[in-house]
Amino acid sequence: MPLVVSTHHACAGHLTLPGHPERPQRLEAAIAGAALAGAVPLDVEVDERRALAAVARVHDPGLAERLREACRRGPGLFDSPDNPISEGTYDAAVAAVAAALAAADALVEGGSDGAWVPVRPPGHHALRDRAMGFCFFNNVAVAAEELLARGLGPVAIVDFDVHHGNGTQAHFWSRADAFFLSLHHFPFYPGSGSAEEIGAGAGRGFTRNVPLAAGADDAIYTEALAMGLEDVLRTLTPRAWLVSAGFDPHVDDPLGGMAMTEAGFTAFGRLIRGAAGRAPVLAVLEGGYRLEALRTSVRAFLGGLEDRVTP
């Protein structure tokens, strides 16, 4: 089945401060990067009630209400100095969740084996009761919980954003129905993600962090991902795979300090598809802040995932 693309125009309504790297144009670049032959856009309906019920599986229900009220008051900061909000931020965050849920629907009901969810705000730093790191609701954790609730588990979550996905790790820390694998710059924001962090209780051994030094290139990253995927498959057999796809390890990204190229992201797509086999893969946009690098990197990753690499 063809790759499906799940997004919503309301995600562009989250307006940040002038000069802020997490800007609406990122959405356009991430959608443009999905222009692969045969990709099918989904018609995403924003059902706020369903979205908030899904958010409540991951977050304290008070977080959504606090965000709604803060956005009603107009522009400002929410929970941390790096989380500016506008009147459209709440609607954008809800629409991002709705798009992730629509992608999950496509995997469960539509028979698709791949979904790309280019949305903003990103999500993998969002904690249960607090927004941080440009993130408000944890989109990939919401999608994972939806798949698990509908019987498509256990799941694997692969996070290759340059920053550690502390919110996703915290949510699944003590769980054995999800394996969390993260490759990230370390030490770096948000400060978590050492190799010693492996989960606890029933989830001990179900978290694998691969910290990488500044300047890591395609060869280092692909070797690290290959080893991490072997760890996943030794631990469980995922029935679905999710990806926190951050493209800020790109050599041209202004925030990452890494040296990946499009060739590396193509290899990422192929490695993840090879590990997943016939299991579906749902990838959600996280970081990536140089627009042209984001567009070309998304295209490269999805080309590898779908094995349709185009010039």
Ranges of each domain in the chain: 4-306
Mean pLDDT to the nearest integer, 203-215: 98
The rounded distance, in Å, linking the Cα atoms of 238 and 236 is: 6
Q: What DSSP designation does 85 have? A: E
pLDDT tens digits, residue range 46-57? 999 999 999 999
Which one of 3.40.800.20, 3.30.43.10, 3.40.190.10, 3.40.50.300 gives the CATH number of domain 4-306? 3.40.800.20
Pairwise pLDDT comparison (111 vs 52), residue with the higher score:
52
**At residue 153, does pLDDT exceed 60?**
yes
Residue 127: closest CA among 156, 81, 165? 165
The rounded distance, in Å, linking the Cα atoms of 96 and 121 is: 7
What pLDDT shows up at residue 310?
A: 45
Mean pLDDT to the nearest integer, 213-230: 98
Mean pLDDT score of the chain, rounded to an integer? Answer: 96
Model confidence at 37, in pLDDT bands (50, 70, 90)? low
Q: What is the pTM of this model?
A: 0.96
The rounded distance, in Å, linking the Cα atoms of 55 and 140 is: 11
What pLDDT shows up at residue 311?
A: 39
Residue 186: closest CA among 219, 144, 220, 135? 220
Hey, how many other C-beta atoms are within 10 angstroms of the C-beta on 182? 27
What pLDDT shows up at residue 80?
A: 95
- In percent, the amount of the chain with pLDDT more than 90 equals 94
Q: How far is CA 138 from CA 63, 145, 253, in A?
A: 12, 11, 23
Hey, how many other C-beta atoms are within 10 angstroms of the C-beta on 33? 25
**At residue 36, does pLDDT exceed 80?**
no
Residues involved in catalysis: 125
pLDDT tens digits, residue range 226-282? 999 999 999 999 999 999 999 999 999 999 999 999 999 999 999 999 999 999 999
The rounded distance, in Å, linking the Cα atoms of 28 and 227 is: 33
pLDDT tens digits, residue range 294-311? 999 999 999 999 885 443
